[in-house]
Amino acid sequence: MEFDSELAGKLAQARALLARCQRVAAFSGAGLSAESGLSTFRDPDPDSLWSRFDPTELASVAGFEANPEGVIDWYNWRRRAHAGVQPNAAHRALASQPRMIQITQNVDNLLEQAGVASQQVYHLHGSILHDRCHNPGCTHRVAVELEAPSTSRACPRCGERMRPAVVWFGENLPQATWNRAQHLCMQLDCLLVVGTSATVYPAAGLIALARQHDSRVIVIDPSTGAAGEQADVYLAGQAGEVLPALLDGFDLASNP
């Protein structure tokens, strides 16, 4: 892959930075999966989800309680779009680094499909591959069939409605996973930020948290955005092109 001279220079800078690091984690968003064919949320392009749909109706508890069938239908449409989707070169490049924890806002499982061990992936926003009971006191959770997801139905344990196992606006992140992600970001040499607008909190706050604890930050994203503004090295490009070049030949375990 040929890069223009500015990006090539930044890549060399980022590789030199990484060569001095042992504790590196990745923090990703929808841009990581864009080259697999999944829509992002906020890109200016007309395909992005929140330019076509209203998140207050489709990604909030109030929206779900007002129109559960409509919300479930929308997630089931997204699930069909996820069926058969394959990891791209960016997922594979991250998977080539078994010591690197993957903190992700993505609800797909493309990192795992690319070969990242499931305990190495911290899913901050849940999973579109599962349903769970909407009753916070009930832990019932089931895998869904992406090609033929179930329609609205009651929880077989408590009778409350089942819902997608994703985190909606106004809901808490899964507490244990969030604690682990914060703890990790306080101990890093470098945080690799990939394909996120870094606008949704508390997840986006991990970048500032890492910086406050002396981590360097490398950002890969075609748009500078809120993440790029916090970068020590900003790589303006597609994750599927830049990440393989960035991580090629790296083995964090062998860094001094």
Residues near ligand OAD, by CB under 6 A: 29-31, 34-35, 40-43, 48, 55, 59, 105, 107, 125, 166-167, 195-197, 199-200, 220-223, 225, 238-239
Looking at 22-88, list the stretches that DSSP marks H as alpha helix, in order from N- to C-terminal side.
31-34, 49-52, 55-58, 61-66, 68-82
Q: Tell me if residue 125 is catalytic.
A: yes
* Closest CB to ligand OAD among residues 43, 189: 43
Shortest separation between residue 142's beta carbon and ligand OAD, angstroms: 19
* Closest CB to ligand OAD among residues 28, 96: 28
What is the rounded distance in angstroms from the CA atom of residue 101 to the CA atom of residue 252? 12
What is the rounded distance in angstroms from the CA atom of residue 40 to the CA atom of residue 20? 32
* Tokens 């968003």, located at residue: 29
Shortest separation between residue 228's beta carbon and ligand OAD, angstroms: 8
Shortest separation between residue 250's beta carbon and ligand OAD, angstroms: 19
N-terminal to C-terminal alpha carbon distance within the chain: 28
Q: Which of 125, 130, 134, 183 is catalytic?
A: 125
Across-strand partners of 162? 133
The strands making up 216-220's β-sheet, listed across from edge to edge, are: 121-123, 101-104, 24-28, 190-194, 216-220, 233-235
Structure tokens at 16: 């030199």
Residue 196: phi and psi, rounded to 5, are: -135, 140
Of 256, 253, 255, 233, nearest to 97 by C-alpha is 253
* Closest CB to ligand OAD among residues 70, 159: 70
* Closest CB to ligand OAD among residues 223, 255: 223
Shortest separation between residue 69's beta carbon and ligand OAD, angstroms: 20
Largest Cα–Cα distance of the chain, in whole Å? 60
Shortest separation between residue 33's beta carbon and ligand OAD, angstroms: 9
* Closest CB to ligand OAD among residues 166, 252: 166
**Catalytic positions:** 125
